[in-house]
């Protein structure tokens, strides 16, 4: 499982980097954090560590609920996405006045990232 988690973490990290590579100009317009020229090495390392935690948690959850294969993993991914990052980001819109477009941008990243995790771990199992 360690190899699966590491390979999947690299892929999910790359997918997220690609997402913000494409939508970086939108992020830069909506957030001062997005306007930064390039992330620092320690932030990249911290983001990769967050991704490893996400992949590990998803793998353990999938195993605990008996998900096996890509279709089941994608179903779990959709439930996890809707129940956690989407709800948290909606809360940031409601309570912190985060612009809807900014929250949607981040929600899209989470959906892509969790889908990549689900497919790769689903194939691995």
In order of 32, 74, 94, the CA distances from 113 in angstroms are 23, 11, 24
pLDDT in tens, the chain (125 residues): 899 999 999 999 999 999 998 998 898 888 877 767 677 899 899 999 999 999 999 999 999 999 989 999 999 999 999 999 999 999 999 999 999 999 999 999 999 999 999 999 999 87
| pLDDT, position 37 | 63
- With H, G, I as helix, E, B as strand and everything else as coil, classify residue 84: coil
Q: Phi and psi dihedrals of 32, rounded to 5?
A: -60, -35
Whole-model pTM: value is 0.91
> Encoding tokens for residue 14?
């790359």
């Amino acid at each position: 499982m360690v190899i699966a988690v590491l390979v999947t973490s690299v892929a999910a990290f790359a997918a997220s980097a690609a997402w913000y590579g494409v939508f970086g100009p939108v992020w830069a317009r909506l957030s001062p954090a997005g306007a930064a020229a390039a992330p620092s090495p320690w932030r990249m390392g911290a983001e990769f560590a967050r991704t490893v935690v996400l992949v590990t948690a998803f793998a353990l959850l999938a195993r605990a609920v008996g998900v096996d294969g890509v279709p089941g993993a994608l179903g779990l991914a959709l439930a996890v996405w809707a129940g956690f990052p989407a709800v948290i980001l909606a809360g940031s819109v409601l309570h912190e006045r985060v612009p809807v477009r900014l929250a949607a941008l981040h929600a899209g990243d989470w959906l892509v990232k969790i889908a990549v995790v689900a497919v790769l771990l689903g194939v691995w199992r």
